[in-house]
Chain A
Amino acid sequence: MNLFDYLEPTTQFVIFSAIKILIVFGVTMTFVAYAVLAERKISAWIQDRVGPNRTAPPITKFIPILGPMLVRLGIFQPMADGLKFLLKEDFTPAYVRKVYFWLAPAIAVIPAFLTFAVIPFGSTLGNPDNKMVIADLNVGVLYTFGIVSLGVYGIVLAGYAANSKYPFLGGIRSSAQMISYEIAMGMSVVAVFMVVGDLNLGAVVQYQAKHGWMVLHQPLAFAIFLIAAFAETNRLPFDLPESESELVGGYHTEYSSMKFALFFLGEYAAMISASAMMVTLFFGGWTLPFLSEPASSLLVGLLHIAIFIAKLVVLLVVFIWVRWMLPRFRYDQLMDLGWRRFIPLALGNILATALVLAFISP
């Protein structure tokens, strides 16, 4: 019996939630930092370069073989980047709308982290009540879509606050792009929830453990969701809000130092949360076909978390890979794809799912 048992259940709940939140936040931040490194390394390999390979804190000199190897892999690069972002001059130009200029980076980064709240990243740990999800909401996905929609505000506000042409164009483009693909994204998962019958993401994972991964039941929904996720996170081939060759840097042209970094943190965190959503909705979450029972021991619980992270990493690599394989869309092509292709396709998918469930396999 430990001290923890003596506390009120509410206090226990709060403490346990706080621990989960801090760990998830820490892990996400590490992932964001190393996703940037992975992006640089993978792009380097694709383009036959070496990528970051020489950031070395003094301690690496004293580690015989491992030290130089880690340096070559650029393991210390994210720390150097982070420090540099903090130490650079934080410049606020004279003509900007000051309040919004400061608010925008914060608003861009906060929703990206909030989406992690409902994602089940493991089964249970320790006792069966310790679910590995920060908030086991019964509205699950509705919460996620609500929060994801908030992400557009940061970018629009950044474009507006900068009071300069390129950021303004970037912000406007971004808002139109994100809201367009949100419809397709929202419609694509309706079909998934028709099959599952529950909005709670834990229930979605349980369903997949019994009936196989959702990507096999709903391949079209997955394709739409994946492509819409690229558009929602402003990743290539849909990175028009910050397309360097036409808009300099898009909505963050006038930003510097940590404010600039927060937009990138937000973008990568959004990428990670989109991948986590896809793992949960379409790839069975923390389950594997032969490992789908909720954890009975601590070790299995940790294994489930590891499975989830492994699937997440695969999808992240896909995100990065696509960025360096495909050229950027034109703006009219982008809107055309969103409105004229995906919306009818997603509607058709819903109708087809409804008919199949009604007449073929109830």
Chain B
Amino acid sequence: MLHQFDKARQDRSTYRSECESGLLNQPPKARVRTLAAPADTMSFAPHWQISGPERWLAIPGNADKVTPEMDSELIQYLPVLMLLLVAVGFAGGTLVVSVVAGKVGRRTRTKDIPYECGMLPQGDGSSRLSVKFYLVALLFVLFDIEVVFMYPWAIVYRDLLRENAALILGGMVSFMGTLFAGYLYALKKGAFDWTK
């Protein structure tokens, strides 16, 4: 039985002769370099560094032995991007399909008026709204950013307790104290009071 490696070498020699006879249009020179490894050692260039069809012949079944450089942070976000594409494709696709496959109805004046329980619509579509909503939005921006500041602290809290407990605890207690004072101020001013 031929060893896998020998078989690959054999394939390669056929490949080279094919190249020389002009069956494949690319010059084999650049590739021969990567093939020059001694046959008895298996010390090849990792197969993903070899370009062209050589890769398929270079090392059979050796892919699990090499540890790829997958630690890079950014590539971890690639699946997120792919998921985004799938989600966008799904949302867009169904919208388009429903237009294509959906029933086409008549357009009438009555059908076009805004729905107000069967009465004729009164006044503007978007009326003025209570100032409370703006207040909530402002307070949200304030408090949500405070929460974001808490995350890094929460992560290192246990580690830093061993090193400098007073600093890590005192720092956050003072921060939360300030936050809470602001919260109390908003509370006393009636910012959260929706009944008045």
Q: Give chain A's interface residues, CB within 8 Å of chain B.
A: 1, 5-10, 12-14, 17-18, 20-22, 25, 85-91, 93-95, 102, 105-106, 109-110, 113-114, 116-117, 127, 134-138, 141-143, 160, 162-166, 168, 172, 175-176, 179-180, 182-183, 186-187, 190-191, 193-195, 197-199, 248, 253-254, 257-259, 261-262, 331-332, 335-336, 339-340, 343-344, 347, 350-351, 354-355, 357-358, 362
> What residues on A are CB-neighbors of B11 within 8 Å?
none
Within 8 A of A (CB), among B109-133: 111-117, 121, 125-127, 129, 132-133
Contact of A93 among B75, B112, B154 (CB under 8 A): B112
Q: In the assembly, what is the distance between CA of A157 and CA of B60, in Å? A: 55
Contacting residues, chain A, for B68 (C-beta < 8 A):
8-10
Chain B residues with Cβ under 8 A from A17's Cβ?
78-79, 82
Main secondary structure of the interface of A (DSSP, over half): helix
Contacts of B195 in A (CB 8 A): 332
**A117 with B136, Cβ < 8 A, contacts A137-B77, A182-B144 known:** no
Q: Cα distance A187–B146 when bound, in Å?
A: 9
Please give, as numbers and ranges, the residues of chain B lying within 8 Å of A8 by CB-CB distance: 48, 68
Asked if B83 and A113 make an inter-chain contact with CB atoms under 8 angstroms apart, the answer reads yes
Interface stretch (choices B13-21, B25-33, B99-107): B99-107
CA distance A117 to B99 in the complex (A): 30
Q: A194-B158, A357-B161 are in contact. Are A258 and B173 (CB under 8 A)?
A: no
A117 touches B79 (CB 8 A): yes
Instruction: Verify B172–A354 contact, CB threshold 8 A.
Output: yes
A sample of 27 cross-chain residue pairs with beta-carbon separation below 8 angstroms, ordered by A number, consists of A1-B60, A6-B63, A9-B68, A18-B82, A21-B86, A25-B87, A87-B102, A106-B92, A116-B83, A135-B77, A135-B78, A138-B73, A165-B121, A165-B125, A176-B133, A186-B148, A190-B154, A191-B154, A197-B158, A254-B115, A262-B95, A335-B136, A336-B192, A340-B187, A351-B173, A362-B161, A362-B162
A109: which B residues are within 8 A, CB to CB? 87, 90-91
- Minimum C-beta distance from B53 to chain A (A): 11
A165-B127, A166-B115, A331-B194 known; A86-B60 Cβ under 8 A: no
List of 9 A-B pairs having minimum Cβ-Cβ separation, nearest first: A9-B68, A258-B98, A1-B61, A332-B194, A164-B114, A106-B91, A163-B125, A5-B63, A94-B112
User: Is the Cβ of B95 less than 8 Å from the Cβ of A25?
Assistant: no
Bound together, the chains give a CA A254 to CA B132 distance in angstroms of: 26
Instruction: Compute how far the CA of A69 lies from the CA of B98 in the bound complex, rounded to whole angstroms.
Output: 32
B46 to chain A, nearest CB (A): 9
- Complex Cα distance A90/B105, Å? 9
User: In the complex, A21 Cα to B78 Cα: how many Å?
Assistant: 11
The reply on B24 being an interface residue by CB < 8 A is: no
The interface residues of chain A lying within 8 Å CB-to-CB of B6 are: none
B103:A344 contact, CB within 8 angstroms: no
Contact between A117 and B83 (Cβ–Cβ < 8 Å)? yes
Q: Mark B56-79, 1 if CB is under 8 A from A, else 0.
A: 100011111000111001011111
Q: Do the beta carbons of B137 and A358 come within 8 Å of each other?
A: no
